[in-house]
Copies of this chain bind each other. A is one copy, B any other.
């Protein structure tokens, strides 16, 4: 990829920041030679780390600040009194056109609140959503909302469907992505009013969306659809339940394969295969949750990740910018607004 732009990075967000951030940026920088980085945070800590990574020095600028958003800070507090934090400065750079997007491993709620306040939502989108990519038996799927909102009504769900569809098409490269609404059953009469109304809108509307209908929880890993749409409460809990299950599995497997001599010898023989298995489910490879629906690319990395994981979040941001995701969403929303559908019915306000 030869696209040239600057990516803004909150160098102080995350448990092992700024070290893992700078090292992650260095890893990602090799992959994207056309990208420069603006690192926001404590120059005294960041500058030596940049010097330790040859090749990074001439592609990095540092915006110094000593203020940081704490992991336990309330979003409202961060918004009110965090105007000079590394997180805020890194977002400001996007609003001011200095950077094409921002990555942070800091406090999720604060990042969402600041990004919404500074970047504003796209025209036609009432609420942004957090989207993530998941491994499935058939490849990958994108799920949203993973927790930007605590409650989502039918209109929100329809807007999430539009954004997720554009994402699957532009970033995952699926030609005609199928979209499903997460529910407690696949039959039409199942679920609460918001999912039923959203399904009705997606079904009867002339949106350029291939609506599959409802999918159940096991449809995520089965790869039943390319885009899984749900409210932020359910999505966040499902995301973390899957992560927890994955961790438990890996631990159980490790315990089994170290419990006896034959098991140890066997796993030594199958070492390469087991490594491939681990890579396939490595959560670091799926690190980088995207805030969709904002005027600007904003990616949230897991706070507890390492340099490899953070590099993946940087990769995600670079792909979103290169694939012009926001332009795609804007075009689709304009397309929808041009349809004869009443706006409230389509869940889209222009």
Interface residues of A (CB under 8 A from B): 72, 74, 109, 135-137, 147, 150-151, 182-185, 187, 189-192, 216-222, 230, 232-234, 236-249, 251-253, 255-257, 259-260, 262-263, 265-274, 276-277, 280-281
Residues from chain B with a CB closer than 8 A to the CB of A260 are 272-273
Q: How many copies does the complex hold?
A: 2
Cα–Cα distance between A182 and B218 once the two chains are bound (Å): 19
A–B complex contacts, Cβ < 8 Å, 6 sampled: A192-B233, A242-B242, A252-B277, A256-B270, A256-B277, A262-B270
Find A269's partner among B241, B251, B265, B280 (CB 8 Å cutoff): B265
Majority-rule SS of A interface residues: helix
Residues from chain B with a CB closer than 8 A to the CB of A272 are 260, 262-263
Cα–Cα distance between A247 and B280 once the two chains are bound (Å): 14
In the complex, besides A252-B281, A262-B269, A262-B270, 20 extra interface pairs with C-beta distance below 8 angstroms are A137-B251, A216-B240, A217-B236, A217-B240, A217-B241, A217-B244, A218-B240, A221-B241, A221-B245, A237-B238, A238-B241, A245-B246, A246-B249, A256-B270, A256-B277, A260-B273, A262-B272, A263-B273, A267-B270, A270-B270
Residues from chain B with a CB closer than 8 A to the CB of A245 are 220-221, 242, 245-246, 249
Q: Is the CB of A276 within 8 A of B259?
A: yes
Closest residue of chain B to A264 (Cβ to Cβ) is: B270
Residues from chain B with a CB closer than 8 A to the CB of A239 are 217
Cα–Cα distance between A217 and B244 once the two chains are bound (Å): 7
Residues from chain B with a CB closer than 8 A to the CB of A192 are 150-151, 233
Closest residue of chain B to A74 (Cβ to Cβ) is: B189
Q: Is the CB of B280 within 8 A of A252?
A: yes
Closest 8 CB pairs of A and B: A266-B270, A217-B240, A266-B269, A218-B244, A263-B273, A221-B244, A217-B241, A256-B277
Find A276's partner among B109, B151, B244, B256 (CB 8 Å cutoff): B256
Closest residue of chain B to A192 (Cβ to Cβ) is: B150
Q: Is the CB of A191 within 8 A of B247?
A: no
Q: Is the CB of A281 within 8 A of B249?
A: yes
Q: Is the CB of A249 within 8 A of B249?
A: yes
Cα–Cα distance between A136 and B252 once the two chains are bound (Å): 10
Residues from chain B with a CB closer than 8 A to the CB of A237 are 182-184, 216-217, 230, 234, 238
Cα–Cα distance between A194 and B253 once the two chains are bound (Å): 38
Cα–Cα distance between A281 and B216 once the two chains are bound (Å): 21
Closest residue of chain B to A72 (Cβ to Cβ) is: B187
* Most chain B Cβ neighbours within 10 Å, of A137, A222, A234: A234
Q: Is the CB of A241 within 8 A of B241?
A: yes
Q: Is the CB of A273 within 8 A of B248?
A: no
Give chain B nearest CB distance to A45 CB in angstroms. Answer: 28
Residues from chain B with a CB closer than 8 A to the CB of A234 are 233-234, 237
Q: Is the CB of B242 within 8 A of A259?
A: no
Q: Is the CB of B241 within 8 A of A220?
A: yes
Q: Is the CB of B137 within 8 A of A184?
A: no
* Most chain B Cβ neighbours within 10 Å, of A243, A249, A272, A274: A249
Cα–Cα distance between A218 and B244 once the two chains are bound (Å): 4
Residues from chain B with a CB closer than 8 A to the CB of A244 are 217-222
